Amino acid sequence: MKISEIIANFLAEKQIRYVFGIIGAGNAQLFDSITSKGFTTIICVHHEQAACMAAQAYYRISGILSAAIVTTGAGSTNAVTGVVSAWMDSIPCLIISGNENSKYTLEDNPLRVWGVQGYDSVAMVSKVTKYAVRVLNADEALFALETAYYHALQAKPGPCWIDIPMNIQAMDLKNYNFSRNQQALKSEICSVNSSSLTELYRAVNNVWNAISKARRPVIWLGHGIRLADAVDLIEPFINFLQCPVLVSWAGIDMVSSDHPLVFGRAGVYGQRSANFILQNCDFLLAVGTRLAIPQIGYDLNEFIRNAKLALVDIDLTELQKYGDKVSIPILADAKKFMQTLLNICEPNALFIEKQKLWLEQCIHYRNKYPVSKEYHDSDGYINSYTFIQKLSEYFTNNQIIVTDMGTALLSTHQILSIKKGQRLMTSTGLGEMGYALPAALGAAFANPEAEIICLNCDGGMMLNLQELQTIVHHQLPIKIFVFNNDGYLMIKHTQKALFSGRYAGTNKQSGVSCPDFSALAGAFNIPSFIIRSWADVESEIPKIQSLAGSVICEVFTHPEQLFSPKLSLALQKDGSIVSPPLEDLSPLLPREELEENMLIGLHPKSKAIEVKVELNKA
């Protein structure tokens, strides 16, 4: 049996139905054996980064590992953006690459070029994968695959890369015996260094005691809960604690937005009411979220400055990165933590009664500062936020929403109300433009019964435009909405703030332009629609939703539309420029109103800000 056939059998044994890739000389053996085996279908995309992004999305929706099959040389280098994206978001996937003949691929080869197109791909990706290996002996191939599969899924998930030279793929192993069995595999793999059961019990008790004593506790739930397969525990968990709950952007779709204890999404581009709730808390329990800068703001000392922080994470480095700011660090899988708390803690009627006042305050924030209040149409253009809000009214309960970056990302993640059963995903770590199209097609293969909504922008659409043909080829039910705002809107705002509005490379006038997407849709034989007004929304959206296949709808929004609310630079009364604390979002509130909302008092920066003048910063 050839090594490439062993790999095809491995994919079948792991029930991997779909992988994504592009054929080349370096992986032709793999393509032939996988196709001949017949269990696993190779979805042929048109760029290797798209293969990795699609494989990520496939796992996110199905919970089943997928793979990208790439060739040597540029086939491997093209995959790197998708690999880094999976690494940052902790999404498991396999990348199986071909390479030149093994006589050229020895690690001590000093040449820049190995053979015709080869290079040291393993060295290149070793810092952005959980496991990366080159197979130089045929009898090591299956062991390398088993090891990669294990690492990809265990503990903190992530991508793993197996590089197999083309001659190794073609080797025929007679009487092959996988002698290094699972027992040997386990002996070579380090298990996650999570807390012992005793330590976990102690930590859970510490958290429970801290919550019970707190007057204004808040729970912040993140994507680590889904990675730990603990989404089903969320409702029992929050119903037991009876505390206000916030969700990270990567965790929005884990719980229905209309749950009475869910109060939204905080952060630099957060919801105003959610930021008030977060910043006024006196105890924060963060489960499965790494508390990145877009969540906590630019100054750690200003974040929940009057509160204690308990952080649950499976990654020790994440627990350590904020030092003493984390009062109760808990090295644990989110599922184990949540189950343990539910198992060992007793309901506290006195605590629940005490929380009513705080919950009433949170409801007051939500009612006073509804998300939709922040957004207005301008100069005849519809606002992207209110468009997303209206569009969501047409979504079904099993809808999968995938967003690209820029306007599509910010508008959706700030305003979209998620129903139970819906999924929402994007690249939250790397934030690469071009993510949405390949992710949408990966999601479509993961759940053939679901309709996919792909929210894109004119700029981001151009980075993986070629995957429209993959969508057409497989007749995938993907509805693509493209926000046309003449280029890169977020960076326009940055240039306004930093360079007095001098644009370079952000719109047509300054050097970057995008095509007529309706004409482009025609080239791919995809039905197209245009929305410029609310009348168009009312007439076109029902037509779009009634169609069974793929659609492209171009939505024209103001080329200078502001993103709000957001944390922006502001001028103090003495003329100096500052970045306010997280609760002080722009458009700035009058200082008296802000002070009324801050139970912990105004920050000195906020007191000194001149509200009449602001600088917008994307």
The CATH number for 290's domain is: 3.40.50.1220
- Residue 562 inside a domain? The answer is no
Which of 171, 188, 205 represents a domain boundary (last residue)?
188
User: Can you give the pLDDT at residue 230?
Assistant: 98
Q: Nearest Cα to 246, choosing from 223, 219, 286?
A: 219
Is 23 in the same domain as 138? yes
Question: Is pLDDT above 60 for 248?
Answer: yes
437 and 517 together in one domain? yes
Domain-embedded: residue 95:
yes
Cα(139)–Cα(216) distance, integer angstroms: 59
- The total of structural domains in the chain comes to 4
Q: Given this model, what pLDDT does residue 614 score?
A: 46
Inside any domain, residue 563 = no
130/266 same-domain check: no
pLDDT above 60: residue 427: yes
The pLDDT score that the predictor gives to residue 102 is 87
Considering the domain architecture, whether residues 490 and 460 belong to the same structural domain is answered as yes
Note whether 95 and 226 are same-domain residues: no
The secondary structure of residue 194, as a DSSP letter, is P
Say yes or no: 348 and 221 in one domain. Answer: yes
Answer whether 0.85 is exceeded by the pTM: yes
Q: Domain check: are 249 and 366 in the same one?
A: yes
pLDDT mean across residues, the chain: 93
Main-chain phi, psi angles of 462, to 5 degrees: -75, -15
Confidence class for position 104, pLDDT limits 50, 70, 90: confident
In 3D space, the residue among 384, 445, 376, 448 whose CA is nearest the CA of residue 416 turns out to be 384
Distance CA 362, CA 579 (A): 25
Given 139, 163, 188, which residue is the final one in a domain? 188
Least confident of 23-37, 140-154, 275-289, 489-503: 489-503
- Domain shared by 544 and 585, yes or no: no
- Confidence label for 618 from pLDDT (cuts 50, 70 and 90): very low
| Domain contains 446 | yes
Please write the tens of the pLDDT for every residue from 544-588.
999 999 999 999 999 999 999 999 988 888 888 889 999 999 999
User: Could you tell me the sign of the dihedral formed by the alpha carbons of 7, 71, 83, 110, in that order?
Assistant: positive
User: Domain span at residue 601?
Assistant: 570-614
Q: Indicate whether 471 belongs to any domain.
A: yes
Least confident of 187-196, 280-289, 563-572: 187-196
> The CATH number of the domain where 448 resides is what?
3.40.50.970
- Report the pLDDT value the prediction gives residue 615, as an integer from 0 to 100: 47
Same domain for 18 and 160: yes
Q: Are residues 492 and 419 in the same domain?
A: yes
Tell whether 385 and 367 lie within a shared domain: no
pLDDT at position 613 is: 47
Q: Is 561 a domain residue? A: no
**Domain C-terminal end among 350, 372, 394:** 372
Q: Is residue 261 part of a domain?
A: yes
How does residue 37 score in pLDDT terms, banded at 50, 70 and 90?
Answer: very high
C-beta of residue 29 within 8 angstroms of C-beta of residue 1: no
User: What percentage of the chain exceeds 70 in pLDDT?
Assistant: 95
The arithmetic mean of pLDDT across residues 107-114, rounded, is: 80
Q: How much is the pLDDT for 182?
A: 53
In angstroms, the CA 218 to CA 243 distance is 6
> Does 345 share its domain with 434?
no
